Structure 1
Amino acid sequence: MSRKFENRVAIVTGAAAGIGKSTALAFAEQGAAVIVADIDSQAGEAVVEEIRQAGGVAQFIRCDVTIDSDVEAMVALATNEYGRVDFAFNNAGIEIEHSKLADGSENEFDRIMDVNVKGVWRCMKHQIPVMLAQGGGSIVNTASIAGLGAAPKMSIYSASKHAVIGLTKSAAVEYAKKGVRVNAVCPAVIDTDMFRRAAESDPRKAEYAAGMHPVGRLGKPEEIAGAVLYLCSDEAAFTTGVALPLDGGATAV
């Protein structure tokens, strides 16, 4: 089996569940040493154990992306243990709000922005200098199709994901000649534990979510992981500054 990321090092935030977990497992399966970062220590350690049981290499670190010293420590763990950071999947984020713009609160706005926007900014701020020093690397940030257009009743979340795309494109241009590529993935509704919890309270959500995708189903976490690994691979060496929709055709309608 191909292990195209042998002797490479990947950081994945929000890696304890969902898209982050699937991506951490995929990196490890392809031979990368993986830093599994999350605020959920128990679930994060379980992901590390799963990787190790499969013969992979991984370490867990508790990282709250709203705390700069946590992010700095996460990157330092990678460099201290493995000497480099080849790939970073900045995936940590929080759930959307469900209210019209005028009904939102300032606390909600600040919390969503701190995690979804400043969290990504903090990660790149510490990852990019390491990549520059070693001669290159690849960063993928998690945005959303909500960052590509209007998103009624989740305007704050939508604004945060538009901002992630702005950070991604700007950094991509700033560091393009230095060997650091920066891209974003923009998923639609993905079948994760987070979504299932939301659907349990209102079963109509699952039916509606599947119907918004022309393919007629939800996305799978491993499908997002596959896109992330492609964007980090040598096959994508000419790809930077892209916000890639992964949406079952939703943005094509």
Structure 2
Amino acid sequence: MLVGRRAVVTGGAAGIGAAVARSFAAHGAHVLVADVDPVGDLEFDGTAGGSVASVRCDVRDEAAYETLVAHRPDILVNNVGHYLRAPHPFAANSPDLWHDLHEVNLGHALRLTHAVLPGMADRGGGSVVNLTTVEAHRAMPGHTVYSAYKSALMQFTRSLSAEVGPAGIRVNAVAPDLIESVQVPYDELVPTEQRALWPNWSPLGGPGQPEDVAGAALFLASDLSRFVTGSTIHVDGGTHASGGWVPRATGGWTNRPLNP
């Protein structure tokens, strides 16, 4: 599906980003992974001729962009994002935290996309895939600023898609939820005695796996989605369609109620 294409995947050392990189390479893409952490051996079926290389860098730092642009990507996956700290009220936030959340969830995606767009246009088009979250589309108590920036990334996706569509560049997003990942390790967070409750938390049960998100990204990067732009695919087992956060009797909020 991606034979001969060139892709940049940010935050691809582990979790969702690594799954995306492996999937793209298995379908023939030459993938460059950008991550602050060292990238190990991302094993994949190489019969389609794909490859994975890596550069250790912080995508918040524009000094890294020269290397990423030089890869001549047809596909850019802006996967990096993080809520940075445990839930706490917005009134307890500081402007320094707002700045940090902006840079890791929105600012770098704007700047890196801006850097690769001219080359994509010169080469006749491409695909940008932004990783948002279900919380870009619903409330996330305790992570108000994170949710706001993820929502901004979703709107950036929509508006940019209209601007660059005539250049053959498609811009879409994937919004995960209930995905087993480094940041949200459900295998550790959900006690064994509560795992029977997964059907109450998502119509498809769960948890989902990074490969589920990679499948959506592969679709958006490939010609299967040649007439799709400005859209968001929800990879969440149905939580966006059917559910949300509920208050705990003991205080705080949860999207995994024990007694729904």
**Shorter-chain TM-score category?**
0.7 to 0.9
How far residue 189 of structure 1 moved from its aligned partner, in angstroms, is: 2.1
Q: Which runs of 5+ in 1 are unaligned?
A: 80-84
Q: Distance in 1 between matches of 2:109 and 2:191?
A: 32
How far residue 193 of structure 1 moved from its aligned partner, in angstroms, is: 2.5
Q: Distance in 2 between matches of 1:124 and 1:63?
A: 16
Q: Distance in 1 between matches of 2:195 and 2:157?
A: 32
1:66 to 2:60 alignment:
yes
Residue identity over aligned pairs, in percent, reads 36
1:95 to 2:83 alignment:
yes
Aligned to 1:82: none
Q: Distance in 2 between matches of 1:133 and 1:152?
A: 43
Q: In 2, are the aligned partners of 1:38 and 1:64 still within 8 Å (CA)? A: yes
Q: Distance in 2 between matches of 1:22 and 1:130?
A: 26
**Does the C-alpha gap of structure 1 residues 186 and 96 become closer, same or farther in structure 2, counting only changes over 3 Å?**
farther
Structure 1 counterpart of 2:129, from 130, 140, 160: 140
Q: Distance in 1 between matches of 2:155 and 2:67?
A: 26
Q: Distance in 1 between matches of 2:189 and 2:212?
A: 26
For 1:105-116, list aligned pairs within 5 A. Answer: 105-116=94-105
How far residue 88 of structure 1 moved from its aligned partner, in angstroms, is: 1.0
For residues 215-252 of structure 1, the C-alpha deviation after alignment (integer angstroms, 9 at most, x for no partner) is: 22111100100000101111111100012211111111
Tell me the secondary structure at the aligned position of residue 116 of structure 2.
helix
**Does the C-alpha gap of structure 1 residues 195 and 209 become closer, same or farther in structure 2, counting only changes over 3 Å?**
farther
Structure 1 counterpart of 2:41, from 18, 21, 46: 46
**Does the C-alpha gap of structure 1 residues 207 and 96 become closer, same or farther in structure 2, counting only changes over 3 Å?**
farther
Q: In 1, are the aligned partners of 2:158 and 2:230 still within 8 Å (CA)? A: yes
Q: In 1, are the aligned partners of 2:30 and 2:50 still within 8 Å (CA)? A: yes
Aligned to 2:119: 130
Q: Distance in 1 between matches of 2:206 and 2:4?
A: 36
Q: Distance in 2 between matches of 1:177 and 1:99?
A: 43
Structure 1 counterpart of 2:8, from 6, 11, 15: 11
Q: Distance in 2 between matches of 1:53 and 1:178?
A: 31
Structure 2 counterpart of 1:170, from 146, 154, 159: 159
Q: Which runs of 5+ in 2 are unaligned?
A: 243-260
Q: Distance in 2 between matches of 1:95 and 1:237?
A: 32
How far residue 201 of structure 1 moved from its aligned partner, in angstroms, is: 6.8
Q: Distance in 2 between matches of 1:230 and 1:53?
A: 19
Q: In 2, are the aligned partners of 1:96 and 1:154 still within 8 Å (CA)? A: no
Residue identity opposite 1:150 in structure 2: A
For 1:152-191, list aligned pairs within 5 A. Answer: 152-191=141-180
Tell me the secondary structure at the aligned position of residue 92 of structure 1.
coil
Q: Distance in 2 between matches of 1:102 and 1:202?
A: 29
**Does the C-alpha gap of structure 1 residues 93 and 234 become closer, same or farther in structure 2, counting only changes over 3 Å?**
same
How far residue 202 of structure 1 moved from its aligned partner, in angstroms, is: 7.5
Q: Distance in 2 between matches of 1:52 and 1:138?
A: 23
Larger radius of gyration between Structure 1 and Structure 2: 2
Tell me the secondary structure at the aligned position of residue 241 of structure 1.
coil
Q: Distance in 2 between matches of 1:201 and 1:157?
A: 21
Residue identity opposite 2:74 in structure 1: D
Aligned to 2:30: 33
**Does the C-alpha gap of structure 1 residues 212 and 102 become closer, same or farther in structure 2, counting only changes over 3 Å?**
farther
Aligned to 2:109: 120
